[in-house]
């Protein structure tokens, strides 16, 4: 990895590193039971029923972002974060990108806690859906043709994924919807409160 690449996208690589470290610990600490419900819970996955009776465990609104249910789940989300994350970090800036990623993840896990508390939930997809939603909002209001097109592409991606979620019971659509809400709210806040146009060229 070139030093300049790290400097341009420090938050993306930090998140990739933390998630990879967490995934490695899952297997080091739990051997072949790494994806068992109890192992996931001990690693920080969301289990709403438990959190509802133990408010001190509200830290589980954050930790599920870094926990994954199997190698395929981990690889898919990390590849998405690598490609989409770098682009999003360039659009929003490092601090806003990091805040957006965490906020969307927390919102997604809050939706799971409230609406599907009986489910063991984990994964970065709550945060990734938030990134998609934020880019859609900014693309809609931006004067940049590139951001307009990117927003339309991400909107199509969101729709396809949600339809897929409906026919895949093992995928937590509740968390994804929460992530979308979190990302959209963050983007709207920046547009109204900060009056930022975000006319940053992707790839500049």
- Active site (catalytic) residues: 125, 176
**Between the CA of residue 6 and those of 23, 53, 94, 203, what are the distances in Å?**
22, 42, 12, 15
Q: Which residue has the tokens 């739990």?
A: 30
Pairwise CA distance, residues 112 & 152, whole Å: 27
Neighbours of 102 (CB within 10 A): 17
Structure tokens at 41: 């819970």
Pairwise CA distance, residues 202 & 159, whole Å: 23
CA angle 43, 47, 49 (to 5 degrees): 145
Neighbours of 152 (CB within 10 A): 13
The radius of gyration of the chain from alpha carbons, rounded to an integer in Å, stands at: 17
Q: Tell me if 106 sits within 8 A of 182, measured CB to CB.
A: yes
């Amino acid at each position: 990895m070139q030093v300049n690449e790290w400097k341009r996208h420090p938050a993306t690589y930090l998140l990739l590193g933390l998630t990879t470290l967490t995934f490695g610990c899952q297997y080091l600490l739990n051997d072949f039971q790494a994806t068992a419900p109890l192992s996931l819970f001990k690693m920080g996955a969301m289990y709403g029923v438990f959190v509802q009776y133990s408010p001190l465990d509200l830290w589980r609104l954050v930790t599920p972002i870094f926990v994954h249910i199997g190698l395929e789940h981990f690889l898919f989300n990390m590849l998405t974060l690598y490609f989409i994350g770098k682009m999003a970090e360039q659009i929003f800036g490092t601090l806003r990108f990091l805040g957006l990623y965490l906020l969307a993840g927390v919102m997604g896990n809050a939706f799971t806690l409230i609406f599907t508390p009986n489910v063991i939930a984990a994964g970065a997809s709550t945060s990734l859906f938030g990134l998609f939603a934020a880019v859609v909002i900014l693309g809609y209001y931006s004067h940049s043709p590139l951001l307009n097109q990117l927003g339309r592409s991400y909107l199509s991606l969101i729709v396809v994924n949600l339809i897929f979620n409906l026919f895949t019971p093992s995928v937590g659509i509740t968390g994804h919807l929460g992530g979308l809400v979190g990302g959209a709210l963050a983007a709207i806040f920046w547009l109204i409160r900060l009056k930022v146009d975000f006319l940053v060229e992707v790839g500049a």
